[in-house]
Structure 1
Amino acid sequence: MKTTHLIAILLSFFILSSTSKILAQSKKTDAGIKPDLSIKKNLTDDQLLDLVQKQTFRYFWDFGHPVSGMARERSNKSFDYGDEVVTTGGTGFGVMAMIVAAERKFITREQAAERTKKIVDFLWKADMFHGAFPHWLNGETGKVIRFSPKDDGADIVETSLLFQGLLTARQYYTADNPVENDIRNKILWMWEGIEWNWFTQNQNVLYWHWSPNNGWSMNHQIKGWNECLITYVMAAASPKFPISKRVYDDGYANNNTFFNGRKFNGITLPLGFDYGGPLFFSHYSFLGLDPRGLKDNNADYWEQNKNHTLINRAYCIENPKKYKGYGANSWGLTASDSWGGYAAHSPTEDLGVITPTAALSAFPYTPEYSMEALKHFYFDKGDKLWSEYGFVDAFSDEKDWYAKSHLAIDQGPIIVMIENYRSGLLWKLFMSSPDVKRGLKTLGFTSPNL
């Protein structure tokens, strides 16, 4: 009896000890990053970049959905959808941000891998349609949350942004251990299952949406210069369901909003809308796609993105509407929250709103000008713009309005594009994928990476 009692005590001790170790490891894995809300005046440029990347990363790490690990759509409630809305494209940005955080030692590689595995495991069981994911998911259940009345199925643009991040992760997590092996395997299986060519409806163009309830009724062809270059590259890169070059040439590039060639503020714009449109066109596709030396018969994409950025800044300096607060160190028009609701800010839709992600995600293209803007946002206006998740989404000195919100699709590019400026890390990883190389070659691209 005494022996049995002793065994029970020892067994209880072992269980408690093991549980403590598991809890300690769990606590280590999910440990938060303490926000630094004070405005420090004597930071070097590198220290300031470190701080911005680290604090902005908190959006994806500390504010990530507790069940799925995925990125929440925004930090404030919107459209009465509750607390469970996670975004697929924004999660792709978040996965890339975790790689940056691991390399910058904000978190350990093991922590980054564990969180990435949580996301991948969740996606593995979540709603998908012909292999593609919806724009929004319920972060607890994995069920689709409709983005608009008929947008309750596949969204191949969001899927391409998600897999830009996941293919980058597959190139990064190369260790031979159970966690990283599982990350690579599940990403590969999901990647191979996306039926990109099915989304052409047997035509030479990709269609953005498909719904099990509404079919092709949204009927949105992906054409003209915008944020969707990555969608065509990913579709061409597919191992099992690729599109042909003709789909790219006759679909995406065959549109009256694709080529431009005119000058704005004295700067030639090769592609896109007059004045270039919102600056996120030069960010989303190029978190992984390295624009340095990237060319095809249509454009030099480094020139396109740099000139688009310079035109956007030159317009803010010219400030034809005479808005308060615009200038050489306060510029950047792109889609974001606004004093009147969400808006796709650009020189042709100028509401007096500056969005920090516009200038900060442009660091690779205009490092000197982006640093001027960063110092203004942090040192001069930090009391109104700096928050627990980095800079607030947008502001208007004209309206004395400063957002309280943060959006995944705005916070992610800040971290990733600053890192691409500093080290080229995400560009190197994504462009090292054999599938990506094949896809770019299929579409007729040339690059030093190929």
Structure 2
Amino acid sequence: MNRRALLSASTLLVGSTALASCAGTLGRAGVRTPAGPALPDWYADLEERTFRFFWERVNRSNGLVPDRWPSESFCSIASIGFALTAYAVGVERGWCKRAEARDLTLTTLRFLWEAPQGPEPSGNAGYKGFFYHFIDMERGHRFHDVELSSVDSTILFMGVLFAGQYFDRRDDREAEIRRLAEAIYARADWAWFQDGRRAISMGWHPGGGFIARNWEGYNEGMFVYVLGLGAPNYPLAPSSWEAWTAPYPQVWRGEGATRHLAFAPLFGHQYSHVWIDFRGIRDTAMQAAEMDYFENSRRAAYAQRAYCTANPMQWDGYSADLWGLTACDGPGHATLPFKGQQREFFAYSARGPLGMPDERDDGTLAPTAALGCLPFAPEIVIPCAERLRREYGDLLYGQYGFLDSLNPSYRFTSPEPVKGKVDPERGWVDDDYIGIDQGPILLMAANYRSDFVWRIMRKVPAIRRGLMQAGFRGGWLES
């Protein structure tokens, strides 16, 4: 199944009325993030537990990481990308030894490099240097009929490139990591994935060809173009960035200090920022808007908080310190009575504020939605994290930190939820951790604390090259 296919076909947008309530608290456009409020003492425990999801659930014989746990799962190639970055965080925080992280990283890169590639519908991990969205945990072969994914491959490549830059010592194993990282990234044929279009396709199926939908802004696809434009061998055409930004006029929402490029699920405002420091650098669109993409994500976080504070659906729990809608697990597909109305609930799905035909708000919140915004708006994220821990900790906080999601309004026991459990007073809580939701919690905390991931990635030539090709200027790109 294509996770992206579960997302709404159109951007879910927030109206300017909901945004107006937070206009006075937003930072000035383009200004480097100031030192923010201190994280609570328990947050270090959350970070270590989240790290251990990747460290303990990885298949150590090949480096493949499950999509989720404890449910039995295939490997998510995006989870590998988050894991390859998480290992270095573990080294720096003292949760694992550098030699251990080095050896696990090398095992992973060797497997990715040697995994079979080809056009056949089965028996391969990928094609043209890209990888299938999901692969089996042992052999690394395509799982069922999933697509060759441009965005999930990008997340994988981000982790690969990070590892190649981080492991910089004069050591045979670290040198091999660097060689493999360069080779894995250089092998990807981005021009092929463009398929003669201006924009890049979301995916490809053997026998079925390219998916009709392209990556066009604004959503999580931004870093696909940065890596594609920066590729050393088969780059995207320079005009592809214009194709990415062409829809921007249709997705601006808000006025003044609330104006931002809208995409309702918050993961779309987070993923590119996990690895790329967008503070103070601007392309043509952001120059015209007189802000940067970091500020755009900050405004998106405030927009979600404003929506949950207004709470037009009257869901239980929503407030200024309990917010965060994104793609996540849910209690299941059912239509049930709630406060005198029939309400539809969903299983795994993208979620975002009301305001467009494809709106989806069923009362389900995900910790990663708010916590992944930590560098953008710590002053509103930390209170949300505190409330999640305080009010739901015994249900939601476990072996690897926060479980994926909760729904305070879902207190139904019939029909039985497809997964998770129902507390009669506090509602439904998931029973899985999901790799692509764990990653932003850990890595954005590392960026908030010390710019750690950003500092490493600013040194990667492909990142600088891709940004420059896209027309970004200013900030650290000028140094």
1:307 aligns with 2:299: yes
1:357 aligns with one of 353, 365, 368:
368
In 2, Cα distance between the equivalents of 1:343 and 1:52? 25
1:271 aligns with 2:261: yes
Counterpart in the other structure of 1:240? 233
1:94-105 equivalences under 5 Å are 94-105=83-94
In 1, Cα distance between the equivalents of 2:447 and 2:476? 15
Report the alpha carbon displacement of residue 137 of structure 1 after superposing the two structures with TM: 1.2
SS at match of 1:145: coil
1:444 aligns with one of 464, 467, 471:
471
SS at match of 2:476: coil
1:59 aligns with one of 45, 48, 53:
53
Code of the residue aligned with 1:234 in structure 2: it is L
Report the alpha carbon displacement of residue 57 of structure 1 after superposing the two structures with TM: 1.0
1:421 aligns with 2:465: no
Report the alpha carbon displacement of residue 203 of structure 1 after superposing the two structures with TM: 2.3
2:135 aligns with one of 134, 137, 152:
137
1:378 aligns with 2:389: yes
1:123 aligns with one of 102, 112, 115:
112
Code of the residue aligned with 1:380 in structure 2: it is E
C-alpha contact (below 8 Å) 2:273/2:294 kept by paired residues: no
1:435 aligns with 2:435: no
1:321-360 equivalences under 5 Å are 321-340=313-332, 341-348=347-354, 349-360=360-371
Counterpart in the other structure of 1:280? 267
SS at match of 1:166: helix
In 2, Cα distance between the equivalents of 1:259 and 1:174? 44
**Percent identical:** 31
Q: Please list every run of 5 or more consecutive structure 1 residues that lacks an aligned counterpart in the other structure.
A: 1-43
Report the alpha carbon displacement of residue 205 of structure 1 after superposing the two structures with TM: 1.4
Code of the residue aligned with 2:236 in structure 1: it is I
Give the TM-score normalised by structure 1.
Answer: 0.84
Deviations 1:356-393 (A, max 9, x none): 00111111011121111111111332111101011010
Report the alpha carbon displacement of residue 76 of structure 1 after superposing the two structures with TM: 4.1
Counterpart in the other structure of 1:397? 408
SS at match of 2:252: coil
Code of the residue aligned with 1:165 in structure 2: it is G
Q: How many residues align?
A: 391
Report the alpha carbon displacement of residue 289 of structure 1 after superposing the two structures with TM: 0.8
Code of the residue aligned with 2:298 in structure 1: it is K
In 2, Cα distance between the equivalents of 1:258 and 1:109? 47
Deviations 1:127-171 (A, max 9, x none): 22111111111121121113xx4x34x211111111111111111
1:167 aligns with one of 161, 164, 168:
161
Counterpart in the other structure of 1:24? none
Deviations 1:5-37 (A, max 9, x none): xxxxxxxxxxxxxxxxxxxxxxxxxxxxxxxxx
C-alpha contact (below 8 Å) 2:230/2:467 kept by paired residues: yes
Deviations 1:188-228 (A, max 9, x none): 11111111111111221111222333222x32211121100
C-alpha contact (below 8 Å) 1:244/1:443 kept by paired residues: no
C-alpha contact (below 8 Å) 1:225/1:258 kept by paired residues: no
Identify the range of structure 1 (360-369 vs 204-213) with the bigger mean alpha-carbon deviation: 204-213
In 1, Cα distance between the equivalents of 2:44 and 2:443? 12
Report the alpha carbon displacement of residue 106 of structure 1 after superposing the two structures with TM: 0.8
1:220 aligns with 2:213: yes
Code of the residue aligned with 1:269 in structure 2: it is R
C-alpha contact (below 8 Å) 1:65/1:86 kept by paired residues: no
Report the alpha carbon displacement of residue 267 of structure 1 after superposing the two structures with TM: 5.5
Report the alpha carbon displacement of residue 442 of structure 1 after superposing the two structures with TM: 0.7
In 2, Cα distance between the equivalents of 1:46 and 1:101? 19
1:90 aligns with 2:79: yes
C-alpha contact (below 8 Å) 2:89/2:446 kept by paired residues: yes
In 1, Cα distance between the equivalents of 2:451 and 2:209? 40
Q: Please list every run of 5 or more consecutive structure 2 residues that lacks an aligned counterpart in the other structure.
A: 1-37, 116-124, 287-291, 333-346, 355-359, 411-426
Report the alpha carbon displacement of residue 46 of structure 1 after superposing the two structures with TM: 5.0
Counterpart in the other structure of 2:121? none
Larger radius of gyration: 1
Code of the residue aligned with 2:142 in structure 1: it is V
Report the alpha carbon displacement of residue 259 of structure 1 after superposing the two structures with TM: 4.5
Deviations 1:70-90 (A, max 9, x none): 22011143xxxx54x111112
In 1, Cα distance between the equivalents of 2:93 and 2:322? 28
In 2, Cα distance between the equivalents of 1:144 and 1:422? 37
Counterpart in the other structure of 1:320? 312
Counterpart in the other structure of 1:11? none
In 2, Cα distance between the equivalents of 1:71 and 1:287? 19
| Change in CA separation of 1:144 and 1:376 when aligned onto 2, cut-off 3 Å | same
In 2, Cα distance between the equivalents of 1:225 and 1:342? 22
In 2, Cα distance between the equivalents of 1:258 and 1:360? 29
Code of the residue aligned with 1:271 in structure 2: it is L
SS at match of 2:68: coil
In 2, Cα distance between the equivalents of 1:93 and 1:410? 10
Deviations 1:50-72 (A, max 9, x none): 11110011110111124322220
Report the alpha carbon displacement of residue 177 of structure 1 after superposing the two structures with TM: 1.1
Report the alpha carbon displacement of residue 419 of structure 1 after superposing the two structures with TM: 0.8
State the Cα RMSD in Å: 1.7
Identify the range of structure 1 (383-392 vs 324-333) with the bigger mean alpha-carbon deviation: 324-333
SS at match of 1:107: coil
